Copies of this chain bind each other. A is one copy, B any other.
Amino acid sequence: MSEIKDITSRDVDFAKWYTDVVTKANLVDYSTVKGSMIICPYGYAIWEEMQKVLDKMFKDTSHENMQMPLLIPESLLNIEKEHVAGFAPEVAWVTHGGKEKLDERLCIRPTSEVLFCDYYKKIIKSYRDLPKLYNQWCTIVRWEKTTRPFLRSREILWQEGHTMHATKEEALAETLRMLHIYEDFQKNYLAIPVIVGKKTEKEKFAGAVASYSLEAMMYDGVALQNGTSHYFGNGFAKAFGIEFLNKDNKLETPYQTSWGVTTRMIGSLIMVHGDDRGLVLPPKIAPTKVIIIPIGTSNEVNEALNTLEEELKEAEITYKIDNSPKTPGFKFAEAEVKGYPIRLEVGPRDLAENMFTIVRRDTLEKIRIPKNELISKIKEIFKVMQEDMYNKALERRNSMIYEAHDYQEFTSIALNKPGFIKANWCGDEACENKIKDDFNMKSRCLIEDEEIIGNCVCCGKKAEKRLYFGRQY
């Protein structure tokens, strides 16, 4: 089948396989606008499913959506020094409006901390005004040199949560609450196992006190950072002069967080679950859950389709019928490329026996089901499939995590085995830099629930922390 759609095998050339899948499944198309991609309807539908679930999770935890301006005046970006140092090199600058040169240039938001701070300053006066729990769904721009669909792009669709709190404790709790909401979403909807943890000082977000990330491992052992949640302390608040009167009528500075996930998660879905036939979507996030392929156009088939449509609609199972004039074989291959969780064949031979044939996309298993049990069976399969996909990904990931005790062992693993390496670390950035230079592996995040036995894997000095290392997209 895979020949029909001409997808490179993922074990032969993973990068080429990825590009083949994103384009043949019609998730994205290349644009003549350099560095930007066109998100095609099928790719966008996946993003809409993600938005629907996450937006509900945010609202259920009292966050409110709003919309900040797209453009940031240079002077506003400049207020927080670490932040501007981190972002200024990669922003797009607007210098002209129509024919006129602007007095002050404006950047297209690379992230919106400064815009929110500017707003907080106006609206936060008293402890009664806190907390502020905001989110926005929008586009950001970061002027990347090399780009790849969903993974690295000059333009990114994302959500950015921004909150402000009366106390340090509350802000820290919010940072972790949102991290765990992301974790829940990625595990239970995307069926992607993630390691969640704190970033090192070197890897944290520009201007943050602490950054936490969700680290997923792709099929090829390379890491994809699937989301971040940041605790800012009151650094931005101080730089912006945001203060509130506490219950004792004294001025205090509030504490801040921000957190975000992007369409990059679609890249993750592809690279964790996809196979040589194309995309494989977990049922809970697939925009179309069942693809129906009629075999022939007899009256029996058409009648069966009508009943089927009614049943699926009533059960709220999204479906599509492929009525195109292509051959069934071609339709099967196309259904596989697109990763629809279940393929349902409706043919005269099955119907004569009051049966349907369905095919699970993840296992390619063919299952014959009595007509009157179809809906309940499909629901059952979705449930099993969702769990199976998660467990399969978890098993593969776990099998590709190694422990290195010294630099020789680290070197041998790094050069021979794709995946993550767990290791002790002295806490010195020099060791992180050396590992980065030697193997192109960055620290992913701290491991905080394991005992530290032994010395730093790099310099051999006393270990203070444990880290995951991995190459990254």
Contact = CB atoms under 8 A, between A and B. Distances in A.
Interface of A: 29, 31-34, 36-41, 43-45, 47-48, 64-73, 76, 88-99, 105-106, 108, 115, 118-119, 122-123, 134, 138-139, 141, 143, 154-155, 157
Contact of A91 (B31, B64, B98, B143): B98
Contacts of A94: 92-95, 108
Contact of A115 (B33, B47, B141): B33
B92 A71 contact: yes
Nearest to A76: B32
Given A41-B66, A65-B41, A143-B98, A29 B115 contact: no
A20 B141 CA distance: 34
A91 B100 CA distance: 10
A115 B123 CA distance: 39
Contacts of A76: 32-33
Given A39-B67, A93-B95, A118 B31 contact: yes
Sort A-B residue pairs by CB-CB distance and give the 8 closest, nearest first: A36-B69, A41-B64, A97-B143, A39-B67, A93-B96, A33-B69, A95-B95, A92-B94
A113 to B, nearest CB: 14
A48 B137 CA distance: 11
A73 B134 contact: no
16 contacts: A29-B122, A32-B73, A36-B71, A38-B66, A38-B68, A38-B69, A39-B66, A41-B65, A44-B64, A45-B65, A47-B67, A91-B97, A93-B94, A93-B96, A94-B94, A98-B143
B95 A96 contact: yes
Given A93-B95, A97-B143, 20 more contacts: A29-B122, A31-B119, A32-B118, A33-B73, A38-B67, A38-B68, A38-B69, A38-B119, A39-B67, A43-B66, A44-B67, A45-B65, A48-B65, A71-B141, A71-B155, A91-B98, A92-B94, A92-B97, A98-B143, A108-B108
Contacts of A64: 41, 44-45
A44 B66 contact: yes
A33 B93 contact: no
A260 to B, nearest CB: 17
Given A94-B108, A95-B96, A108-B94, A31 B155 contact: no
A33 B95 contact: no
A71 B154 CA distance: 10
A446 B115 CA distance: 44
A32 B67 CA distance: 14
A47 B136 CA distance: 13
A366 to B, nearest CB: 31
Contact of A36 (B70, B96, B154): B70
B155 A70 contact: yes
Nearest to A97: B143
Contacts of A70: 36, 108, 139, 141, 155
Contact of A33 (B31, B33, B72, B123): B72
Contacts of A108: 70, 94, 108
Contact of A98 (B69, B90, B98, B134): B90
A33 B71 contact: yes
